């Protein structure tokens, strides 16, 4: 388990606060659907995207989104991959540019 994950007395993993917000999701959905899209996130839920210890060099979240696109109700499940919360792992990933290499791999 990385330092970015904590467990309580019951052994349940407690994740730190995430940067996933209603506004952030709306911006991502506008990019996905195209500029000028009228998007309103009605509800969203953030959960761990993998079991503790499976993802050492990133924090992976599963996000369920209920939103409105124009007059249409939509439902979307996405995986969000973030830099690790742990300062040592974050430094390791950014110093070796693993984050930039992965972004380049998926976008080019």
How high is the pLDDT of residue 87? 85
Print the domain residue range for 33: 6-107
Going across the sheet that includes 59-69, the strands are 39-48, 59-69, 72-82
Domain assignment present for 87 = yes
Domain assignment present for 15 = yes
Give the global pTM: 0.71
How high is the pLDDT of residue 11? 52
Is residue 99 predicted with pLDDT exceeding 60? yes
Overall number of domains in the chain: 1
Q: How many CB atoms lie within 10 A of CB 57?
A: 17
How high is the pLDDT of residue 3? 45
Domain assignment present for 1 = no
Whether 68 contacts 43, CB under 8 Å:
no
H helices of 1-108, in order, are 22-33, 87-95, 98-107
Domain assignment present for 43 = yes
pLDDT tens digits along 19-76:
899 999 999 999 999 988 999 999 999 998 887 766 677 888 999 999 999 999 999 9
How high is the pLDDT of residue 49? 87
Domain assignment present for 31 = yes
β partners of residue 83:
none
């Amino acid at each position: 388990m990385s330092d970015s994950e904590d467990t309580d007395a019951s052994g349940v993993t407690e994740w730190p606060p995430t940067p996933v917000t209603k506004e952030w999701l709306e911006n991502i959905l506008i990019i996905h659907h195209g500029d000028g899209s009228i998007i309103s996130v009605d509800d969203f839920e953030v959960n761990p995207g993998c079991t503790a210890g499976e993802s050492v060099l990133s924090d992976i979240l599963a996000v369920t989104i209920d939103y409105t696109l124009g007059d249409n109700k939509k439902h979307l499940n996405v995986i969000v991959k973030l830099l690790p919360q742990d300062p040592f792992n974050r430094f390791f990933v950014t110093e070796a540019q693993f984050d930039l290499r992965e972004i380049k791999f998926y976008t080019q």
